Copies of this chain bind each other. A is one copy, B any other.
Amino acid sequence: MTPSQLADALAGFRPLSAELGDATLDLDRRRRCGFPEVVYGEGKPVETLERIFRRLLADGVEVLATRVSADKAAALRPAFPELRYNEVARTLRIPGATPEATGERADRVGRVVVVTAGTSDLPVAEEARETLDCMGVEVERVQDVGVAGPHRLPAQLDRFRGAHAVVVVAGMEGALPSVVGGYVDCPVVGVPTSVGYGANFQGLSALLSMLNSCAANVVVVNIDAGFKGGYVAGMIARGKRKDVS
C-alpha cells in the first residue's frame, strides 16, 4: 500500500483529537467505534475532569464518567448542576443538549440482563447498568442468585428470554457465569469481582474460574470491570437492532 492509499484508508476513519493539557481527548471515537469516549475518573484531578466534560458536552454527547469519588462529584456539581451521581456505582452522568443525549430515551434498543451472585457484587453491577442505560439499552436486573442456592436461578429463567446478552457479576468462586451460560442462547459476559477473602486473592479466583468456564458462550473482562462488561453487552444488544434498519 502506498502512502496515498493509506491516507485514503485512514480518511474513512477521520481521526480527530482535542488536546486538553494533560489529556488528549478522542473526539472521533463515536464515529469510529459507535460510542463517544467514556471518562475513567480514577486519578484525574477535578480540574481535568471539568475540562474534559465541557469539551464532550460541546460536542453534543451525554457525559458518562466511571470511578468518580463522592467528593469529586460534589466538587463538580456547581459547574454542572444537572449531573447525576450514583453513589453505589460511583458513576457520574451529565445529559447532553440533543434529544439523543438526554439520557431519557423512551426508545430502548436491545435487551441485556445484569445478574449478581451476591449482595456485595452490587456496586460492580450498578456500574454495568448505568453504562447500559447510557447506551439506551433496556436492562433487566436479577440479584443474589449465586450457585449455593441452586433453585434461585431457575426460578428467574423467564426474565432471561429475549436477552441479546447477559452480564454476570460474581466474586468468590465465580461459578455463576458457567451455570447461566448453560441456560441461554446468547453471549454471557463474566465480570469477576474482588468480593471474598483469603485464597480469593482480590478476585483472582473468580477471574480464573470464568476464563476456564466449560460453557462455550462465556467471555471475561477485568476484575470489577462493571463498565466494560456493560459496554460490550450493550454493543452486542445495539448491534442487532442496527442490522434491521
Binding site for B on A (CB under 8 A): 1, 3-7, 9-17, 22-24, 26, 28-29, 32-35, 38, 40, 42-44, 48, 117-120, 122, 143-152, 154-155, 157-158, 164, 172-175, 178-179, 181-187, 189, 192, 194-225, 227-228, 231-232, 235-236, 239-244
Please name the residue on chain B nearest to A175 by beta carbon.
Answer: B175
**Are A43 and B9 touching (Cβ within 8 A)?**
no
A237 to B40, CA, bound (A): 29
The 20 sampled A-B contact pairs (Cβ below 8 Å) are A3-B10, A9-B157, A23-B144, A24-B145, A26-B152, A29-B149, A146-B214, A147-B147, A147-B214, A148-B178, A148-B214, A150-B182, A173-B174, A187-B236, A194-B198, A199-B211, A199-B223, A219-B220, A241-B243, A243-B244
Q: Given A179-B179, A185-B34, decide whether A222 and B228 contact each other with a Cβ distance below 8 A.
A: no
**Are B197 and A17 touching (Cβ within 8 A)?**
no
Candidates B154, B199, B241; contact of A208 at CB < 8 Å: B199
Tell me which residues across on chain B come within 8 A of A28, comparing CB atoms.
149, 151
**Are A119 and B32 touching (Cβ within 8 A)?**
no
**Are B178 and A119 touching (Cβ within 8 A)?**
no
A14 to B143, CA, bound (A): 20
**Are B214 and A117 touching (Cβ within 8 A)?**
yes
**Are B6 and A122 touching (Cβ within 8 A)?**
no
**Are B155 and A17 touching (Cβ within 8 A)?**
yes
**Are A6 and B15 touching (Cβ within 8 A)?**
yes
Question: How near does chain B come to A26, taking the closest CB pair, in angstroms?
Answer: 4
A40 to B118, CA, bound (A): 10
Please name the residue on chain B nearest to A123 by beta carbon.
Answer: B43
Q: Given A15-B152, A17-B155, A197-B222, decide whether A208 and B205 contact each other with a Cβ distance below 8 A.
A: yes
In order of increasing CB-CB distance, the 10 nearest A-B pairs are A15-B151, A7-B7, A198-B223, A175-B175, A43-B120, A34-B185, A24-B144, A3-B11, A205-B208, A26-B149
